[in-house]
Amino acid sequence: MIKYRYIILVCIGILFYNHTTFAQRVVASKTKTITPKPKVKETQYMRWNFKAGANLSVVYLARNTKENNNEPGYCGGVNFEVNNFLRFASLFTHFKPVNIEPTWQNIRANSYEINLEIVARFPNKKTLLYPFVGLSYNTFSGFFTGQRDYYNLKEYYKVNSTVTNNWLGLNVGLGFEHNFGIVGIFVDYRMRIGKEEKTFNIMDVCYTGGLKVRLPYGKYAKQYFGSRDRYNIQ
């Protein structure tokens, strides 16, 4: 009888051992080692970036009585990124000499401005939308003939004389930008509000577009420019 009990206990022990071993193998087969993927570091760029382009502007809305009153010009500027949400943007705009016949001749205009842009970034981190506000200093010089003077400007300016106006304006606008690495494109729409003779009014409406360049720094710059040996430049 004792032998039978011994045999039964041995069989139970073997079955328990086999069951435990099988369970461990099943768990081990289901458990997979997951190797974390290395994070790809994003290219770091300088806070300063540069832009240049062309624009269309009415130059001086209250005085431009032409049916097609958009005048072409070119522009350039520098941006400084304070953080991911704010940046300062400067812009210089020059317009070629234009005529608003028969009232104005040989008009020369320039604009210098500084704006604060509030940047909203799309999930791809390459596309940006930014409303902005700022100040501009605008110069206007032209020969006033006095002909067809619909705005009765003879009260302020002498007929057949060169008139020069320098005025401070408030800029309000919206911009769009998309980057392709170090090069990007941008499009802006802005209004300039200033004092016209004795009242404040919209003085200018401007559309601007062009290219923007942002430069990488540190080890990221080598991806684009490579390393340079001052004694062995290839």
Q: Give tens-digit pLDDT for 168-184.
A: 999 999 999 999 988 99
The residue with tokens 């309000």 is 172
Task: Look up residue 122 and give its two tokens.
Answer: 């799309």
CB 144 within 8 A of CB 120: no
Q: Note whether 138 and 109 are within 8 A (CB).
A: yes
- Whose structure tokens read 């032998």? 3
Domain chopping of the chain, boundaries: 45-218
Distance in angstroms (rounded) separating the CA atoms of residues 118 and 114: 13
Residues 36-62: pLDDT tens digits? Answer: 665 556 667 778 899 999 998 876 655
**Run of H or E including 186:** strand 183-196
Q: Phi/psi zone of residue 200: left (φ > 0), alpha (ψ -120 to 50 degrees), beta?
A: beta
Q: What is the pLDDT of residues 99-109, one digit of tens each?
A: 878 888 888 88
Rounded CA separation 131/91 (Å) = 15
User: Structure pTM?
Assistant: 0.71
CATH number for the domain formed by residue range(s) 45-218: 2.40.160.20
